[in-house]
Chain A
């Protein structure tokens, strides 16, 4: 059986629906594939516009084969998230070129849903949500067009939007009450969570500077009470002790369920909301107190139980004054003294000299800082290229570097002087969003500092960058760097209006993240207990959802059965008209007929007389006139009552 060909309006809606689901993927798909998809969609649109036949099946096979080849060239594989989505995008475009029946059109619509889901793997911000909503309206419009008669695009989109709006209450019920399970249910492709900037567990020269170029938010904190002073705002990330002459790596460490230190000093209570970064570390303020469900590494990092693939909220208390590592093991200290033989000879010589100059090993850090300061080291995002030994080059030749160069040089110097030292990476600083009061830390706040071990004092934080650029600590990156050319636009401090705008947008974004994207099992639990439903398990949730769904369904059924006859509609309008008149002190008497009433109203208020007489005459004609409803008259009657506003 040959099915009827698609009408132009049907093809149009189908193309709109496919384009809306494909277009946002342009942000991550390879350029070649975007071009191919755009060409195919454009071609299909042109064919639909001109009413020409679709290309031959052989051509489509050839296109599909070339698509496979293109994906193979671009990705070198077919499995995984990225090649999968690229293939789906290409196949959807090719499928459109052979779609000329209602059944094929429906397949395209189902495919575009998958395309939409694929986009959420990359982005879930409000813009994407708005696009997805527009895409849903286009999809519903396409389904309406496939089932119904041709209609003007405006009327069709209105009808589709009405359907979507009717679906929203039920969607809200399901969204809130559907039992949330923490994924994943099965293994994910290895590249499921790429495209995330942030710290890594190793540091080579230039790594932190690269992270700093992004204004993306790394995490937010909301303090109960005052936030700590800027000099205490060190958010601890990976601790790097293993040095091979160029790259710093995390050393082997143990992980326990409780911290190895005793918290003391001022306490700061705060809630962290971390963006997903695919690692376990939690970037707590130094040094977090014991909390259930968290892990503590022997280098004082706070860890989650699993890598953060989704946004995470965690409540913490930190005590910056805590002394840590008082009885550090020899193995750790040995590692913190190791330098690869033959590397950075000039810096080692400097370390040896400092050691002889110092009266006690606890004086060495101060001497090193003094030396750094005297060397007039410049703080810049764009250092000159280094030679073979980059610490030597930095300290003695180029004398320009970013925080990771300062930290690395300081650690190498101290190790050469015989003082255990290591690099700590993380974030330093952050700023308060004036709109919602949350404390925002961005990737541009990424920082590297050092820790030095001194007998009797344990690990002490020393930030060598502060020695050269103290403003970095007090006022962030933008305050410390003289030239702002390479700074992310949103971090620049010289544009106050931009800052206000950004604060507002990010406050909304924070709400969105907290309540929509971050709606996880814990949030669901919290919301339900706030509603008075303590201790809910999934059976309660399903019962609740079923009950709410039943209420919605009953309301819908009542609406579906509500049937108004034309006479009802006319009476309804007439009652409204009488209420209007009653409101200005002219109520209708129960024994009064419409024409008598109009006469009385007209004599009391001559200004209203023409309108009232016209309406009453229409009413009498429609209600008591010959059978059969005059649709023109009843529409006019309805309109004139709608416009009747007596004072």
Chain B
């Protein structure tokens, strides 16, 4: 077994964490670990010197002071432990993001007890600095709070929430109590849209309903009943403002029609990721333009449609293309 694997095993055994856990996660006593901080060690050294001085100079009050500070430090271990024990963790929903923008995971920490919890920090595990940079927060008695975990995204597909560390140095900063857990939550990362490239292939189509009444955005053609999936740009806001019913403006365009975004029509020289990036951009552009669009990928065909659910379905296909959908 090589070193990283050994370390991983050791971590699993030591911190009792083995992969994502179902919500809610309860922080029991066996999941909380305490160790002195650097300042705690410095204080221990100071107390040792004070103890030696007390013995050497026969200072009864020196003994008393050393033992008092030592006892308070000892008590602070229990306070730190008590500050974490009994908390429960539930992951919130993670909105899908495009690759390159940070993913946000909302973690709900609930304090069912009558005592407030203070000075908590939550961050993805990995290094003491990362957790110290996290902003500390308090949890009043019988309350819960949502903490946002930001993660940079580098690949399309599912991004699972990594193992998190919940840490506290309350009350005196001498003792660090922490717990590791991994809520079972993941975030979908869409491919990053291409920044520059050919325009949306509107009108290049030859096979789809020429001369028919297509949707476009050039000439106003009339009003129809509003559907939730309609683009907000086409809502007849004046009518709504007058207190009338919601209507959607319909337009006729010379080349206005469904657009079909097809994987196979891309230049053969393009790589998989480049094709996905271009298709992603087209999906976004078509969606913004309010055009019905369909998507064909090898093994998948999504008929034309519009609206956020349709867009999400298309982007999901693109995000997971070629990946195991699990």
Contacts and interface: CB of A to CB of B under 8 A. Distances in A.
Interface of A: 102-103, 106, 110, 113-114, 116-117, 120-121, 124, 128-129, 132-133, 136, 139-140, 143-144, 146-149, 159, 163-164, 166-171, 174-175, 178, 181-186, 188, 192, 309-310, 516-520, 553, 556-557, 559-561, 563-566, 569, 629, 631
Contacts of A113: 46, 50, 65, 69
B76 A163 contact: yes
Contacts of A561: 29, 82, 85
B119 interface: yes
A178 B63 contact: yes
Nearest to B43: A110
Interface stretch (B52-60, B94-102, B152-160, B303-311): B52-60
- How many of chain B's residues touch chain A, expressed as a range? 35 or more
Contacts of B82: 559-561
A61 B323 CA distance: 64
B118 interface: yes
A168 B68 contact: yes
Interface string B59-74: 1111111011111101
B55 A183 contact: yes
A167 B74 contact: yes
Interface string B14-31: 000000000000000100
A599 B12 CA distance: 59
Contacts of A106: 39, 42, 173
B172 A147 contact: yes
Contact of B59 (A124, A144, A175, A559): A124
B86 interface: yes
A576 to B, nearest CB: 16
A518 B63 CA distance: 12
Given A136-B72, A143-B173, A556-B78, 15 more contacts: A114-B49, A120-B59, A136-B65, A171-B64, A171-B70, A171-B71, A181-B55, A184-B57, A516-B61, A516-B64, A553-B74, A560-B78, A561-B82, A563-B112, A569-B114
A117 B50 contact: yes
Which of A133, A147, A557 has the most chain B CB within a 10 Å cutoff? A147
B70 A174 contact: yes
B60 A566 contact: no
Contacts of A117: 50, 53-54, 59, 62, 65
Contacts of B74: 167, 170, 553, 556
Contacts of A128: 61
Contacts of A174: 67, 70-71
Nearest to B138: A149
A233 to B, nearest CB: 30
B143 to A, nearest CB: 9
A305 to B, nearest CB: 15
Contact of A171 (B50, B56, B67, B118): B67
B113 interface: yes
B171 to A, nearest CB: 6
Interface of B, secondary structure class, is helix
Closest 10 CB pairs of A and B: A167-B71, A170-B71, A167-B72, A560-B82, A174-B67, A147-B173, A310-B58, A143-B172, A171-B67, A560-B78
A638 to B, nearest CB: 10
B56 A186 contact: yes
A147 B65 contact: no
B172 A566 contact: no
Interface string B257-279: 00000000000000000000000
A170 B59 contact: no
Given A147-B171, A556-B75, A560-B85, A183 B56 contact: yes
B81 interface: yes
Contacts, number: 159
A565 B114 contact: yes
Interface of B: 29, 39, 42-43, 46, 49-50, 52-65, 67-72, 74-76, 78-79, 81-82, 85-86, 112-114, 118-119, 138, 141-142, 169-174
B316 to A, nearest CB: 36
A185 B55 contact: yes
A512 to B, nearest CB: 10
Given A106-B42, A129-B64, A563-B113, A148 B170 contact: yes
Contacts of B79: 163, 560
Nearest to B129: A1
Contacts of A516: 60-61, 64
Contacts of A178: 63, 67
B85 A170 contact: no
Contacts of A144: 171-172
30 contacts: A106-B42, A110-B42, A117-B53, A117-B65, A121-B59, A136-B69, A140-B172, A147-B172, A148-B119, A159-B171, A163-B75, A163-B76, A164-B68, A164-B72, A166-B72, A168-B71, A171-B70, A182-B58, A184-B57, A185-B55, A310-B58, A557-B78, A560-B79, A560-B81, A560-B82, A561-B85, A563-B112, A565-B112, A566-B142, A569-B114
Q: Pick the most buried of A106, A139, A560, A561: most chain B CB atoms within 10 A of its CB.
A: A560
A136 B66 CA distance: 10
A556 B79 CA distance: 9
A308 B303 CA distance: 101
A149 B139 CA distance: 13
A132 B39 contact: no
Contacts of B29: 561
A169 B71 CA distance: 8
Interface hub of B42, B72, B79, B114 (most chain A Cβ within 10 A): B72
A171 B68 contact: yes
A103 B78 CA distance: 23
B69 to A, nearest CB: 7
Given A132-B65, A168-B71, A183 B58 contact: yes
A114 B42 CA distance: 13
A309 B56 CA distance: 11
B56 A185 contact: yes
A556 B80 CA distance: 12
B61 to A, nearest CB: 5
B60 A140 contact: no
Contact of B56 (A136, A184, A569): A184
Contacts of A181: 55
B77 to A, nearest CB: 8
Contact of B86 (A168, A169, A310, A563): A563
A166 B119 CA distance: 21
Nearest to B45: A110
Contact of A183 (B43, B57, B65, B85): B57
Nearest to B53: A117
Contacts of B138: 149
A148 B171 contact: yes
A447 B65 CA distance: 39
A569 B172 CA distance: 28
B75 A167 contact: yes
A30 B29 CA distance: 55
Nearest to A111: B46
Nearest to A128: B61
A564 to B, nearest CB: 5
A477 to B, nearest CB: 32
Given A143-B173, A148-B170, A565 B60 contact: no
A517 B61 contact: yes
A563 B85 CA distance: 9
Contacts of B46: 110, 113-114
Contacts of B56: 183-186, 188
A65 B49 CA distance: 27
